[in-house]
Structure 1
Amino acid sequence: MIFSSPIIFPFVSFLLLVFLLSPVAALESGHHNAANQTFRPREETRKLERARAYLRKINKPASKTIQSPDGDVIKCVPSHLQPAFDHPLLKGQKPLEPPERPKHNDSIDLSTEIIQAWMNTSESCPEGTIPIRETTEQDVLRASSVRRFGRKIRRRDTTSSDHEHAVAFASGDQYYGAKASINVWAPRVIDQYEFSLSQVWVISGSFGNDLNTIEAGWQVSPELYGDNYPRFFTYWTSDAYQTTGCYNLLCSGFVQTNNKIAIGAAISPRSSYNNKQFDIGIMIWKDPKHGHWWLEFGSGLLIGYWPSYLFSHLRDHANMIQFGGEIVNSRSGFHTSTQMGSGHFAEEGFGKASYFRNMQIVDWDNSLLPLSNLRLLADHPNCYDIRAGRNNVWGNYIYYGGPGRNQRCP
Structure 2
Amino acid sequence: MASSTPHKTTSTFITFLILLVSSFTPVESDSGNHFATNQTFRPHKELHKLKRVRAYLRKINKPSLKTIQSPDGDVIDCVLSHLQPAFDHPQLKGQKPLEPPERPKGHDSEDIGTEKFQLWTDSGESCPEGTIPIRRTKETDVLRASSVRKFGKKLPRGVRRNTLGSDHEHAVAFVNGDQYYGAKASINVWAPRVTDEYEFSLSQLWVISGTFGRDLNTIEAGWQVSPGLYGDNYPRFFIYWTTDAYKSTGCYNLLCPGFVQTSNKIAIGAAISPWSSYSSRQFDIAIMVWKDPKHGHWWLEFGPGLLVGYWHSFLFTHLRRHASMVQFGGEIVNTQSMGYHTSTQMGSGHFADEGYGKSSYFRNLQVVDWDNNLIPPSSLHLRADHPNCYDIKAEKNNVWGNYFYYGGPGRNSRCP
TM-score, normalised with respect to structure 2: 0.89
**Cα offset, 1:47, TM superposition:** 1.4
- CA distance in 2 between partners of 1:192 and 1:27 (Å): 41
**Cα offset, 1:96, TM superposition:** 0.2
Q: 1:380 aligns with which of 379, 386, 395?
A: 386
Q: 1:166 aligns with which of 162, 171, 174?
A: 171
What amino acid is aligned across from residue 341 of structure 2 in structure 1? H
Tell me whether 377-386 or 328-337 shows the greater mean CA deviation. 328-337
Q: C-alpha offsets along residues 254-302 of structure 1, whole Å, 9 cap, x if unaligned?
A: 0000000000000000100000000000000000000000000011100
Q: Is the 8 A contact 2:179 2:324 kept in 1?
A: yes
Distance 1:105 1:92, change over 3 A: closer
**Cα offset, 1:344, TM superposition:** 0.2
Q: 2:154 aligns with which of 152, 155, 158?
A: 152
TM-score, normalised with respect to structure 1: 0.90
**Cα offset, 1:209, TM superposition:** 1.8
Counterpart of 2:314? 309
- CA distance in 2 between partners of 1:114 and 1:199 (Å): 21
**Cα offset, 1:65, TM superposition:** 0.3
- CA distance in 2 between partners of 1:126 and 1:49 (Å): 33
**Cα offset, 1:32, TM superposition:** 8.5
Q: C-alpha offsets along residues 321-380 of structure 1, whole Å, 9 cap, x if unaligned?
A: 000000000005310000000000000000000000000000001000001110000000
Q: Is the 8 A contact 2:108 2:304 kept in 1?
A: no
Unaligned residue ranges in structure 1 (runs of 5+): 1-25, 108-112
Distance 1:33 1:103, change over 3 A: same
Counterpart of 2:240? 235
- CA distance in 1 between partners of 2:99 and 2:395 (Å): 37
Q: 2:357 aligns with which of 326, 336, 351?
A: 351
- CA distance in 1 between partners of 2:70 and 2:235 (Å): 15
1:69-88 aligned within 5 A: 69-88=71-90
1:334-349 aligned within 5 A: 334-349=340-355
What amino acid is aligned across from residue 362 of structure 1 in structure 2? V
Q: Is the 8 A contact 1:65 1:73 kept in 2?
A: yes
1:115-194 aligned within 5 A: 115-155=117-157, 157-158=160-161, 159=163, 160-194=165-199
Distance 1:269 1:105, change over 3 A: closer
**Cα offset, 1:43, TM superposition:** 2.2
What amino acid is aligned across from residue 210 of structure 1 in structure 2? D
Q: C-alpha offsets along residues 374-399 of structure 1, whole Å, 9 cap, x if unaligned?
A: 00000000000000010000000010
Counterpart of 1:42? 44
What amino acid is aligned across from residue 355 of structure 2 in structure 1? G
Q: Does 1:65 align with 2:70?
A: no
SS at match of 1:199: strand
**Cα offset, 1:305, TM superposition:** 0.1
**Cα offset, 1:104, TM superposition:** 1.1
Tell me whether 149-158 or 98-107 shows the greater mean CA deviation. 98-107
- CA distance in 2 between partners of 1:317 and 1:140 (Å): 34
Identity %: 76
What amino acid is aligned across from residue 96 of structure 2 in structure 1? K
**Cα offset, 1:98, TM superposition:** 0.2
Counterpart of 1:323? 328
- CA distance in 2 between partners of 1:289 and 1:362 (Å): 15
Q: Is the 8 A contact 2:199 2:226 kept in 1?
A: yes
SS at match of 2:25: helix
Q: Is the 8 A contact 2:157 2:213 kept in 1?
A: no
SS at match of 1:118: helix
Q: Is the 8 A contact 1:105 1:369 kept in 2?
A: no
**Cα offset, 1:201, TM superposition:** 0.2
Q: Does 1:226 align with 2:219?
A: no
Counterpart of 2:369? 363
- CA distance in 2 between partners of 1:106 and 1:75 (Å): 31
**Cα offset, 1:33, TM superposition:** 7.4
Aligned length: 380
Distance 1:105 1:289, change over 3 A: closer
Unaligned residue ranges in structure 2 (runs of 5+): 1-13, 27-39, 110-114
Distance 1:193 1:28, change over 3 A: farther
What amino acid is aligned across from residue 62 of structure 1 in structure 2? S
What amino acid is aligned across from residue 318 of structure 1 in structure 2? A
SS at match of 1:267: coil
Q: Is the 8 A contact 2:194 2:200 kept in 1?
A: yes
SS at match of 1:397: strand
Counterpart of 2:211? 206
**Cα offset, 1:31, TM superposition:** 4.4
Q: C-alpha offsets along residues 97-153 of structure 1, whole Å, 9 cap, x if unaligned?
A: 00000011799xxxxx66100001121100000000000000000001110000001
Tell me whether 154-163 or 334-343 shows the greater mean CA deviation. 154-163
Two-structure CA RMSD over aligned residues (Å): 1.7
Larger relative contact order, structure 1 or 2 (CA cutoff 8 Å, min sep 6): 1
- CA distance in 2 between partners of 1:194 and 1:54 (Å): 24
Tell me whether 379-388 or 43-52 shows the greater mean CA deviation. 43-52
Distance 1:202 1:32, change over 3 A: same
Tell me whether 151-160 or 34-43 shows the greater mean CA deviation. 34-43
SS at match of 1:66: strand
Counterpart of 2:253? 248
- CA distance in 1 between partners of 2:380 and 2:107 (Å): 18
Q: Is the 8 A contact 1:114 1:279 kept in 2?
A: no
